[in-house]
Amino acid sequence: MGSIQSTMAGCGFKSAGERPGCRDCKHGQQEYSDRMPPYDKAGWKCKRYGFRVTAMAICDTYESKKGATT
């Protein structure tokens, strides 16, 4: 058996930050609650479907921001 790094490379391992998710989808948008500090809080919303999501959530209609032109 090889090193951990070669095993990770061989199986296509990706860390949480490297995987696709709402945070890097062209339909994902970070939003802030409409409350006064110190209670304001950042969250995520899907602009395509209009509901709240988490940054690491993903759906079948994910589209990368990298391919998007804005």
Distance from the Cα of residue 41 to its chain's centroid = 17
Question: What pTM was computed for the model?
Answer: 0.69
Q: Between 55 and 37, whose confidence is greater?
A: 55
C-alpha 68/C-alpha 62 separation (Å) is: 12
Classify 24 as helix, strand or coil: helix
CB 13 within 8 A of CB 5: no
Over residues 38-54, the pLDDT tens digits come to 766 788 999 999 999 99
Q: Per-domain residue ranges for the chain? A: 17-60
Q: State the chain's mean pLDDT as an integer.
A: 86
Amino acid at 23: R
Q: Between 1 and 41, whose confidence is greater?
A: 41
HSE at residue 57, side-chain half, CA atoms within 13 A, is 14
* Alpha helices for the chain (secondary structure H): 4-10
